[in-house]
Amino acid sequence: MLFKLAFRNIFRQRRRSLLTGLSMTGGFVLCTFSFSITQGSYGNAIEFFTLDHTGHIQIHWEDYEQRPKIYKTIADRDAVESILEKSDEVKAYAPRVFAPALAYAGNQTSPVSVIGIDAELEPTTSRIKQKVRSGEYFNEALTRNGFAKAMIGAGVANRLNIGLGDEIVLISQGADGSIANDIFEVVALVGTKDSYDRSSVYLPLVAAQEFISVGDQVHEYAMLVDHANSSEVIAASLQLQLDGVTPGATVSPWQVVEEAFYKSMQADLQGNYFAMAIIVFLVCIGVLNTVLMSVLERTKEFGVLRAIGSRPAQVFKLIFVETMLMATLSIALGYLLLIPLLTFLTQVGFVLPEPMEMGGVPFLHLKGGVNALVLTAPALIIYAFAALVTILPGIRAVSITPKTAMSSH
């Protein structure tokens, strides 16, 4: 009976109901839009960062990630790769080797980071192919001159004043204590002078292994999973499996590998939540205003209800049910309006006036994100504040005497 009366009052008071409904719908759409942009920006930043070089999860030998040494290598590759290939949660993986080196060309020298990558597996784990600015992505085959191929960062090319087809000499230390030195031919320039790999020299995996004398061993496995947010759980699962076959291997999610970046993103996210709290507060004020005005304009009606014997609790319940029904209808309308808006945000997004570069990859669009938080949190906020702002008008409606209410204008 109470719901029936509430519905009747909503449709009878079309003007007030429309004003209240539009206020709630607008607040719901605004909250959802803000949540979507925040989650989308956060997700896009993580995607660009992890696909640049980190991956979602990494495997190293013991404490290599904190204290990298050239001799800390993963020897039992078959056991590791067997587990990764059997895992349904791992989309792709790629082995890598690393070494500091001194690069020499002409009469110029420069310190560089040598990174050995599998030419076929690496593009499935990072955006290395997309970052090739000139030349062609390499393979394991030798050049016409009989040299192993190399891709160099823009910073290395500028400091050594070399380009495509030029030779580069690398000098380093082998894992066995020997002096590593060899000549490579530049086949591609990677990234920009501001990108992560500006001082990197990429070599095919086998050529890099031979250069630093690590045999078939590697320093790192980088991998991608379906959802970056699940990295910590999946890393823990992989750690348990690896402990049983190759004790000493350490599995780390990207939140640990890039702890500083993760903490900065969390701090930025907290700042965004503060901004959204201000938006939610403004929405609450708007809803409170419309509900309070609705109650004030119906003072005589509540006086009649009290005069014919309605108890204060019944009047309060009526106001509460009407407000919650209005919130439900407003949220339903909001979802209908949000379908095309969220589709646009997630699929197209906004074109930035000036392209930004993240890790050497152009970042042209600002896109939103859609997940359970985006779809449910704004609705719960509207419901919570609708219930909260009903208290003050409800108390006023039930505390006024029938005589005072009937004599109001």
Q: Is the pLDDT of residue 389 over 90?
A: no
Q: Which residue has the higher pLDDT, 157 or 310?
A: 157
Which two three-digit tokens encode residue 111?
């310190």
DSSP state of 112: E
What mean pLDDT value characterizes the chain?
Answer: 82
In SS3 terms, 30-94 reads as: HHHHHHHHHHHHHHHHHHHHHHHHHCCEEEEECCCCCCCCCCCCECCHHHHHHHHHHCCCEEEEE
Residue 360 predicted with pLDDT over 50: no
Residue 18, pLDDT above cutoff 70: no
- Is 60 exceeded by the pLDDT of residue 362? no
- Comparing 264 with 169, the larger pLDDT belongs to 169
* Per-residue pLDDT at 250: 93
DSSP readout, 241-257? HHHTTSTTEEEEEHHHH
DSSP 228: G
DSSP assignment letter at 129: T
Residue 218 has pLDDT above 60, yes or no: yes
CA distance 211 to 192: 26
Secondary element (H or E) of residue 163: none
Greater confidence (195 vs 252) lies with 252
Q: What is the mean pLDDT of residues 105-117?
A: 91
> What is the average pLDDT across 152-157?
92
Contacts of 21 (CB under 8 A, 6+ apart): 326, 329, 330, 333
Tokens of 388: 């909260």
Determine the pLDDT at residue 280: 73
Nearest to 301 by CA among 13, 2, 3: 13
pLDDT of residue 271: 72
* Sequence spans of domains, the chain: 2-50+262-406, 55-252
pLDDT band at 407 (very low <50, low <70, confident <90, very high): low
Mean pLDDT to the nearest integer, 9-13: 53
Confidence bin at 7 (pLDDT 50/70/90):
very low
- Say if CB 249 and CB 60 are below 8 A apart: yes
Q: How confident is the model at residue 361 (pLDDT cuts 50, 70, 90)?
A: very low
Lowest mean pLDDT among 153-157, 208-212, 243-247, 396-400: 396-400
CA distance 59 to 90: 13
CB 114 within 8 A of CB 201: yes
**Strand residue runs (E) in 129-225:** 132-135, 148-153, 167-173, 179-190, 200-204, 220-225
pTM above 0.85, yes or no: no
| Pairing relationship of beta strands 148-153 and 179-190 according to DSSP bridges | parallel
Which of 115-129, 143-157, 177-191, 326-340 has the least mean pLDDT? Answer: 326-340
Contact 203, 150 (CB under 8 A): yes
pLDDT value of residue 339? 87
Q: How many residues does the structure list for the chain?
A: 409
Instruction: Name the CA dihedral angle for 228, 230, 233, 239, rounded to a multiple of 10 degrees.
Output: -40
Structure-model confidence comparison of residues 178 and 21, the more confident one: 178
> Rounded to whole angstroms, how far apart are CA atoms 286 and 383?
14
Confidence tier at 321 by pLDDT (50, 70, 90): confident
* pLDDT band, residue 4 (cuts 50/70/90): low
Share of the chain above pLDDT 90, in %: 34
Comparing CA positions, the residue from 65, 93, 40 lying closest to residue 255 is 65
Residue 326 · residue 16 · CB < 8 Å: no
The pLDDT score that the predictor gives to residue 359 is 44
If DSSP codes are grouped into helix, strand and coil, which group holds residue 146? coil
H or E segment to which residue 66 belongs: none
